[in-house]
Amino acid sequence: MAGEATSHRLDVKDLRVEVAGKEILKGVTLTLSSGELTALMGPNGSGKSTLAYALMGHPKYKVTHGTATIDGQDLLKMTVDKRSRAGLFLGFQYPQEVSGLSLSKFLWTAYMQRHTEKTANVKEYDATLKQHLTDVGMEENLLKRSLNEGFSGGEKKRVEVLQMTTLAPLFSILDEPDSGLDIDAVRAVGEAVAKFHREQGDRCGFLVITHYQRILKYLRPDRVHVMVDGVIALSGGRELAEELEAKGYDFVKVGVPGAA
Amino acid sequence: MELAEAPMSTSTPEITPLDYTRYDFKDPETYRLRIPKGLSREVVEQISKFKDEPAWMREYRLRAYDHFVERPVPDWGPKLDEIDFDAYTYYANPLLEGETKRKWEDLPADIKNTFEKLGIPKAEREFFGGVGAQYDSGTVYHKIREDLAAKGVIFTDTDTAVKEHPDLVRKYFGKVVPYNDNKFSALNSAVWSGGSFVYIPPGVDAGIPLQAYFRINAKNVGQFERTLIIADKGAKVHYLEGCLPVGEEVLVGDELAPIETLAEGRAVLNSDGRETTIEKTMVRPFDGELIGITPVSVGNAFQLTPEHPVLCVPREKVQVSRRTTRQLTDVDTRKLLATPPEFVPAGELRPGDFLHYPINRTEHDVPEIDSAALTVLGYYLAEGCVQKINGCEAVTFTFNIAETEYVERLSVAIHAMTGKHPWRIPQPEKHAVSVGVYSKELYAFCLTHAGKLAGGKRLSKTLMELPPSKQRVLLEAYYEGDGNVYERSGTVHRAMTISRQLAFQVQELQARQGVYATINVREPFDETMPDGRTISHRRMYIVYHQVGKRFQAVRRSGNAFLVPIRRIDRTPYRGNVHNFHVAGNNNTYLVKGFSVHNCTAPIYSTDSLHAAVVEVVAEPYAKLRYTTIQNWSKNVYNLVTKRAVAYENALVEWVDGNMGSKITMKYPSVYLRGRGSRADILSVAFASEGQIIDSGAKAVHSAPDTSSKIIAKSIAIRGGQTSYRGLLHVAPGATGVKAAVRCDALLPDETGRSDTYPYNEIHEEDATITHEAVVGKIGEEQIFYLMSRGLNESDAIHLILMGFLAEFAKELPVDYALELNRLIQLEMAGAVG
């Protein structure tokens, strides 16, 4: 059932999102295409994570206006699990811990949501999983532990990447995969994502949310959007990230007419 | 498909109406000693007199009684105002005092039977180093393995201990839990009877657990056992108490549903194979053994309370002769078919009796579902899969590469249905060929009528009610996929599926074809491959029938099959049992396909009272674990004081599970009095409708370098309430204390409630205290997280719940852990939509 290598699109149009009655996103429009890596930057509280959660369908994030589609399918009408099975993945900034549920059981259960008993290949799964573990620099014994429970910040982020590579989504949104990591861990996560990006070639599109330019060294984004106060205030190429790093976000607020 | 040549009679014998007066489900309440209900000084004195106690104990009881009278009911926690202390019987003993037996054979027959049915003598032989059994107030049995006794281990009832080990008892009794600790410890101290006394001498490791069973049999009898456990220096012991229940399923035409989840107005089948509706559902607490009935089709095994009437033909009425040399005598088929089935209480059934399996005769034709559609569905059940490929609905099928004939037949049928030509993609590396078609309509049709994923395949009610001639088309296609045929004294037809639902439905469809197919179960197992990999095989249901076999164990009689019982067993159960009235004067329904009458047992509406005191002493370097699983019926007030004292470097562990009862108040405590002593308290509360479980833990550190770990987990659903009430006390001078408290509450639906009341009294600054409480969360973020990985809501909740209890479950003996999972699953089945 492997899909042919057609190009996929995730289109977000004029998306407005409320959280607890307060409008956080005030009309966001962006497009992700398979094979491309987009970075979404911006100061704290600008609405970057809100966009991620709203697209994944968190019940507290209420879409009041606008559309979001994958290849024309209305994402907003789907339950969370259906969005996942339609090819959307969210790498959480703060992954949940599930006590008593082993990482290996969880990965297998999630994997089986995308396969039937007949299409699943245990041998292949094991081999790939082992490779993916190596890619993110994790030991196999981590699989036996409860999902994320007692994991260090770095381990949690690596496990998010591991889930992404296991589930092989069409679109992967990574919410601050670098936050709270030391330099080595940023490199490990960055390189693992980059490797997956390379391997998936034109199959998977990425949206990487980050404050900092450092993980982008490994990821080399095709496009950079800067979100300020719930709108995309500035867009540009890779060089924009470096400029931001040097000048800070204030220049965006000042430099862009109309940005709130 | 061929019809089985089951012997058949032409008319259905009339069914004799049920005689309601015959059944009584409790053991007859015959007591050698019984004090009339109500509580007074005289009652306390009388109890002491029966027991022929030393003066100190009598005086202790009376002091406790006075305190009980003065002490008000606690003004905190759940409301206990409704307890009428004069409504209970405080003492009822089936034996005379001092008559506690050491051989099961010495017990009065009815009591011996009760415990035998509960499987306790067997469990004693297999698993335990000692067993105690208490029946209302009286300890009826106590026995310890000889090798342990030889090492000086004492395991007896507390009454006996007062006489035989007066010094030990006097040294420890009431020292850990003084009578004036609380109102219920005072009550227990005044009227206590029975309970276990355990003493492990210095350095002795008791090894396998010692186990106690408690059972309230009589109405309104309180149980006030007193347990005292002493692990002397360096000794080790694990003490276990409790029981757990089970649930059963009813065949409701289109699916199997746990009986608890059926609501009034729901359709069920009666013994005529006609659909009727549930008029009234009833739940009652039950404490006793359940009768497990396994017919020759072992997959159809079911459980009932002993008084529950089951429609059957007793074998003794139809056997050829009264030969006793063989286990089962031959049956005169003509006689069997002529004998009308009758209602027999489940407890009186015997192996070989014939159960009544009616054939569902409900029939509604739906002309749109034609033979092409049924062919496609039949293949789909076996080999099909609905999926979205690049966002388009598709139905795909996987066949073995050699099954070209089936592929052809299916393709023709798909074309007839959808007007589309399905694709065929050979997959030589898997010796398979994949057949599929993009069709929104077919996708929806398969999903509606046959479910999805191998484990979730099932037939819609519409399909189950089609005329049998049409169903035959479906069966034929299905057996081509999932089935096989081979010769063994006739032709065997067999279909295998991991969907239990589907197995039962296929059985029912076969019955409508005139074939009684048996269901066998292949338990799940892990297979290790030569390369070291393990493959987990899921539980498999095998639907099986033979054509052309000369001897048939199952007979056709009119519109029913008569199916012999292969095995009967009895399991202890304490908890709710469910039952309902159905419309029409027949008042029968089917359990796993077999006819039973609605249940006739009385319902106790009054409450019972259980107020135990448990005192535990761990002398220096001792290790002691106390495990409790309580699942009292939901009308019991369970007010228990449990406390341990730990001396130097000793370890005390409480593992405490609370599922049943109306109100539970229980806070297992450890007083850490010796340097380096440790406490580990793991408590679980599960409260459902009408239940309040107020539990928690206390750790009192009064010595330096002591540590405690408290983990409290609670689940509250359907309006149930749980509370965590905990105390962490670090006394002045207790330096270097480490304490960790974690309380997690899970509220799977919106109706449960959970509160946390942690009290910390820390008098040393260097104490390391961690306190985590996660309360009131529905686990919404966790559910979102798991769902974001493609799991649907109920799968996500199930994984979280099982994970939530994993820590507790892994501390339980395996059978307890399995029952716990089962219980939770049943409780959750109705709770999460």
pLDDT digits (tens, 9 = 90+) for A217-254: 899 899 999 999 999 999 999 888 888 888 887 777 65
Task: Give the per-residue pLDDT at B386.
Answer: 85
The complex's ipTM?
Answer: 0.95
Distance CA B663, CA B636 (A): 7
Task: Give the per-residue pLDDT at B486.
Answer: 72
Residue B400 near chain A (CB below 8 Å) = no
Q: Are B611 and B584 in contact (CB under 8 A)?
A: no
Q: A-chain residues within 8 Å CB-CB of B790?
A: 81, 84-85, 110, 113-114, 167
To the nearest whole Å, the CA of B807 is away from the closest chain A CA by 7
Nearest residue on chain A to B388, alpha-carbon basis:
A86
Q: Domain B364-458 is in which class?
A: alpha beta
Strand-pair partners of B424: B435
Among A58, A110, A146, the residue with its CB nearest the CB of B791 is A110
Task: Give the per-residue pLDDT at B791.
Answer: 92
Task: Give the per-residue pLDDT at B299.
Answer: 64
pLDDT tens track for B430-443: 788 888 888 888 88
Nearest residue on chain B to A166, alpha-carbon basis:
B789
Q: Kindly list the averaged pLDDT for each block of 10 residues, start to end, along chain B of length 833.
A: 36 38 36 76 90 92 96 89 85 65 64 58 56 61 73 86 92 95 95 88 85 59 85 90 39 35 46 51 60 72 70 77 56 76 77 79 82 88 83 85 84 86 84 86 86 79 85 86 70 81 82 80 76 75 74 72 81 59 48 46 52 94 88 81 96 89 93 97 89 94 97 89 92 95 83 86 92 69 93 82 81 67 59 39
- CB-based contact A126 B535, cutoff 8 Å: no
Nearest residue on chain A to B399, alpha-carbon basis:
A118
Summarize the confidence of residues A39-66 as an average pLDDT.
Answer: 94
Among B784, B791, B792, the residue with its CB nearest the CB of A58 is B784
pLDDT confidence band for A31 (50 / 70 / 90): very high
Q: Would you tell me which residues 436-455 of chain B have a C-beta closer than 8 angstroms to some C-beta of chain A?
A: 453-454
Using alpha carbons, select from B24, B162, B181 the residue that is nearest to residue B97: B162
Which amino acid is residue A42, in one-letter code? G
User: Comparing B8-27+264-272+285-361+558-597 with B364-458, is the CATH topology the same?
Assistant: no
Task: Give the per-residue pLDDT at A13.
Answer: 96
Query: Which DSSP string do the residues of B597-644 spell out, in sequence order?
Result: EPP------S-EEE--EEEEEE-TT-EEEEEEEE---TTEEEEEEEEE
To the nearest whole Å, the CA of A257 is away from the closest chain B CA by 37
- CB-based contact B806 A99, cutoff 8 Å: yes
3-state DSSP call for residue B448? helix
Write down the domain spans for chain A: 9-253
Task: Give the per-residue pLDDT at B98.
Answer: 59
Which runs of consecutive H residues, i.e. helices, occur in B128-173?
146-150, 158-164, 166-172
- CB-based contact B799 A3, cutoff 8 Å: no
Q: Does residue A67 carry a pLDDT above 60?
A: yes
Q: Using CA of residue A191, residue A194, residue A198, residue A203, what is the dihedral sign?
A: positive
Nearest residue on chain A to B799, alpha-carbon basis:
A101
- DSSP 8-state code for residue B779: S
Residue A126 near chain B (CB below 8 Å) = yes
Q: B-chain residues within 8 Å CB-CB of A85?
A: 388, 790
Strand-pair partners of B268: B276
**Total residues found in chain A within this entry:** 260
Q: Are A229 and A26 in contact (CB under 8 A)?
A: yes
**CB contacts < 8 Å between A and B, how many?**
106
Write down the domain spans for chain B: 8-27+264-272+285-361+558-597, 33-245+606-775, 364-458
Q: A-chain residues within 8 Å CB-CB of B804?
A: 99-100
> β-strands B342-345, B309-313: how paired?
antiparallel
Count CA atoms closer than 13 A to B308's CA, side-chain side. 27
A187 membership: H or E segment, kind and range: helix A183-200
Q: Domain B8-27+264-272+285-361+558-597 is in which class?
A: mainly beta
Residue B819 near chain A (CB below 8 Å) = no
Among A86, A100, A110, the residue with its CB nearest the CB of B789 is A110
Nearest residue on chain A to B437, alpha-carbon basis:
A1
Q: A-chain residues within 8 Å CB-CB of B805?
A: 100
**What superfamily does domain A9-253 belong to in CATH?**
P-loop containing nucleotide triphosphate hydrolases (3.40.50.300)
Among A96, A116, A117, the residue with its CB nearest the CB of B782 is A96
Q: Would you tell me which residues 40-79 of chain A have a C-beta closer than 8 angstroms to some C-beta of chain B?
A: 56-59, 70-73, 79
> β-strands B33-35, B154-157: how paired?
unpaired
Strands (DSSP E) contained in B380-501 are 384-389, 392-400, 423-427, 432-438, 483-487, 491-497
pLDDT tens track for B612-662: 999 999 999 999 999 887 777 777 889 999 999 999 999 999 999 887 788
Residue B203: other Cβ atoms inside 10 A: 14
Residue A96 near chain B (CB below 8 Å) = yes
